[in-house]
């Protein structure tokens, strides 16, 4: 009965279920899984001095960063999680905004935002968010591929 009642709500919610399970709803999707399955990803930073393959142990993944000749990105860059004050200027978008606001507008669930892998420049401008297929205006010629054991899902 609680689950049916909550399905009618317009805003995100969570519901504890028997057997250590939890139902979560956000942005029109419902997921049932182990309670507290969103394991926080500790902040990490992996230097990217040049194009190549980089191991990201915190995610159990490797990341391939490629740069086409004549691209706009300048190395060194860094693979990391988000930080307060990060900015993102999506390709084809008008101006930049705080990454937090952009992720909210993109309807990325709150529990997923801190675990996203970012490729950023040293000044804190986010260039690529590979799991979302998003890149910034200054990321021309950059390609970032995530090769991971975990599922790069939003929920």
pLDDT greater than 50 at residue 75: yes
Q: What is the pLDDT of residues 95-151, one digit of tens each?
A: 788 999 999 888 887 778 888 899 999 888 999 999 888 999 878 889 999 875 444
Angle made by CA atoms 8, 9, 14, in degrees to the nearest 5: 110
Instruction: Flag whether pLDDT at 40 surpasses 60.
Output: no
Q: Does the predicted model carry a pTM greater than 0.75?
A: no
* pLDDT(17) > 90: no
CB 71 within 8 A of CB 144: no
Overall average pLDDT of the 85-92 stretch = 87
> Where would I find the beta strands (DSSP E) of 35-109?
45-48, 52-56, 61-67, 77-80, 87-88, 97-98
pLDDT over 70 at 71, yes or no = no
Q: Residue with structure tokens 């997923």?
A: 112
C-alpha closest to that of 123 among 136, 109, 114, 106: 136
Mean of pLDDT over the chain:
82
């Amino acid at each position: 009965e609680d689950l049916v009642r909550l399905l009618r709500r317009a805003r995100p919610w969570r519901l504890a279920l028997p057997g250590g399970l939890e139902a979560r709803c956000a942005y029109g999707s419902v997921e049932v899984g182990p309670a507290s399955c969103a394991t926080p990803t500790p902040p990490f930073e992996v230097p990217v001095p040049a194009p190549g393959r980089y191991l990201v142990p915190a995610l159990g993944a490797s990341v391939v960063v490629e740069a086409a000749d004549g691209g706009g990105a300048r190395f060194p860059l860094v693979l990391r999680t988000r930080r307060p004050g990060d900015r993102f200027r999506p390709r084809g978008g008008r101006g930049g905004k705080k990454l937090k606001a952009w992720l909210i507008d993109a309807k990325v669930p709150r529990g997923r935002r801190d675990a996203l892998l970012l490729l950023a420049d040293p000044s804190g401008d986010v260039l690529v968010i590979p799991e979302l297929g998003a890149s910034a205006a200054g990321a021309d010629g950059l390609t970032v591929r995530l090769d991971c054991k975990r599922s790069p899902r939003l929920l």
